[in-house]
Amino acid sequence: MLSLEGRCDIRDFHNLCDNINSLTGQNLTPKTAEGRRVGWDFNFNATKSVSIARELAGDKGIETAHREAVEHAMAELEKDMRTRIRTGIRQDRRDEDRVTGNLIGNARHAPHYQAEPARSPSR
């Protein structure tokens, strides 16, 4: 549909949010509504105990397992990604949801905390 594959430029993402086709510069839909919802944000976080186990054990397998679980969840979400198609005008308006399978973006953040050593309270 949009011919965006692989790595995309941040400009492509901003264009999508602004209802602009990056290849043609034209609107993706006939109308751009102010304050429209342009997408959903999904966050996948390991529990604190998993993060602690990963850091203390230094086991890369824990991180790999989490990444694979996220990829699996995203693949399942992508199967049912839809867009709303509105046709007709006012009294003859019809809304239809179409499965598009479009899921954009996947950013992995790995925060590393610099913990200070515990101090005993001074008396």
* Mean pLDDT (whole number) for 58-72: 88
90 assigned to some structural domain: yes
Domain hosting 83: range is: 41-99
Give the residue from 86, 88, 104 showing the smallest Cα distance to 96: 86
Question: Length of the chain, please?
Answer: 123
63 assigned to some structural domain: yes
pLDDT band (50, 70, 90) for residue 123: very low
Average pLDDT value over all residues in the chain: 77
Bridge partner residues of 4 (DSSP): none
79 assigned to some structural domain: yes
Tell me how far apart the 2 most distant CA atoms of the chain are, in Å: 78
21 assigned to some structural domain: no
DSSP string, 50-92: HHHHHHHH--HHHHHHHHHHHHHHHHHHHHT-EEEEEES-GGG
Total number of domains constituting the chain? 1
86 assigned to some structural domain: yes
| pLDDT for the residue 10 | 83
